[in-house]
């Protein structure tokens, strides 16, 4: 059993079955999010492989399932042993725009020349199991990239990273698990699987996918100096940085404390229907009228 898997499974046991010891309290979340819905989120992953490579990808997926979690399932009906001409446009929309090195030309080429598509689903999650499950999903991604996958996209939030960036995130997760640092592990999983900023100037910009680590999403409405001009890339990155900062604060201090400190509001997620994968059962924290 590799060190990341061993660390995550041990951490999962401590989260669910016991109280944290004083020496580990600093790495534990103050409280789990209260669900505002009966819906339980899950990961949906899209793996691209080489020509006529679906059988090999399925074999790799079954090996990963045996190693990491028997609750993972393959959507064989939705998968296909041929290219999907929608993938280039889909990945172009979904590439992470926050990290400057999120993807490379080689990743775009791999998407353009892919030969098969495999969809995988994680087990449904609660707030208590979200980080541990997402950490297993990160390990699953690493395994698949090492065994035939040429590109990966998180369908739940609509985010994609290039191979180098995925492996960097996996290494960060492994380091956090080895150090028994749940907060660092949760942040790594959030950066891997949540997308931000999504939206527009009129309605504001938000995260999508924080429910995959058991947190509400964050919506920021804003006021610019010149309302006649659309928001710039730098302004959108400023919004993304604020979303990440609030995500860190919720994980460290607890959701109620972060909401109070930011003079924000927590409400139900009305952006998506309750049966959609993007729906956040833990709600949406809204920051209004930030000045850019």
Nearest to 173 by CA among 213, 211, 127, 201: 213
pLDDT confidence of residue 30:
63
Task: Using alpha carbons, list the distances in angstroms from residue 242 to 48, 77, 218, 248.
Answer: 32, 40, 9, 10
- pLDDT averages per 10-residue partition of the chain, 292 residues: 52 39 46 92 98 97 90 95 98 97 97 98 96 95 97 98 98 92 95 97 96 98 84 94 97 96 98 96 96 86
Distance CA 193, CA 197 (A): 13
pLDDT tens digit string along 67-86?
Answer: 887 899 999 999 999 999 99
pLDDT confidence of residue 67:
87
* Residues in Cβ contact with 193 at an 8 Å cutoff, skipping those fewer than 6 apart: 43, 134, 137, 154, 156, 157, 159, 209, 212, 213
pLDDT tens digit string along 196-229?
Answer: 999 999 999 999 999 999 999 999 999 887 777 8
270 CB neighbour count, 10 Å cutoff: 10
Distance CA 123, CA 114 (A): 27
Task: Using alpha carbons, list the distances in angstroms from residue 250 to 31, 115, 222, 238.
Answer: 9, 41, 21, 18
pLDDT confidence of residue 18:
33
Total length of the chain: 292
């Amino acid at each position: 059993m590799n060190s990341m898997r061993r660390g995550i499974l041990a951490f999962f046991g401590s989260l669910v079955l016991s109280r944290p010891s004083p020496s580990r309290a600093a790495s534990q979340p103050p409280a789990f999010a209260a669900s505002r819905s009966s819906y339980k989120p899950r990961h949906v992953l899209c793996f691209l492989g080489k020509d006529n490579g679906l059988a090999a990808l399925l074999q790799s997926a079954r090996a990963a399932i045996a190693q990491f979690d028997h609750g993972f399932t393959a959507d064989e009906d939705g998968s296909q042993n041929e290219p999907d001409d929608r993938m280039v446009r889909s990945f172009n929309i979904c590439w992470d725009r926050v990290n400057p090195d999120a993807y490379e030309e080689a990743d775009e080429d791999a998407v353009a020349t892919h030969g098969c598509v495999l969809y995988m689903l994680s087990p449904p999650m609660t707030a208590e199991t979200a980080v541990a499950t997402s950490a297993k999903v990160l390990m699953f991604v690493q395994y698949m990239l090492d065994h035939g996958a040429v590109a990966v996209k998180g369908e739940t939030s609509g985010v994609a990273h290039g191979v180098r960036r995925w492996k960097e995130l996996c290494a960060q997760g492994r380091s956090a698990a080895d150090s028994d640092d749940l907060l660092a592990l949760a942040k790594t999983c959030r950066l891997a699987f949540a997308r931000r900023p999504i939206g527009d100037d009129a309605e504001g910009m938000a995260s999508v996918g924080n429910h995959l680590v058991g947190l509400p999403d964050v919506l920021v409405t804003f006021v610019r100096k010149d309302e006649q001009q659309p928001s710039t890339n730098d302004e959108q990155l400023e919004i993304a940085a604020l979303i990440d900062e609030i995500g860190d604060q919720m994980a460290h201090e607890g959701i109620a404390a972060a909401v109070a400190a930011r003079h924000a509001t927590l409400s139900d997620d009305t952006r998506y229907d309750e049966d959609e994968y993007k729906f956040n059962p833990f709600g949406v924290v809204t920051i209004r009228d930030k000045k850019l």
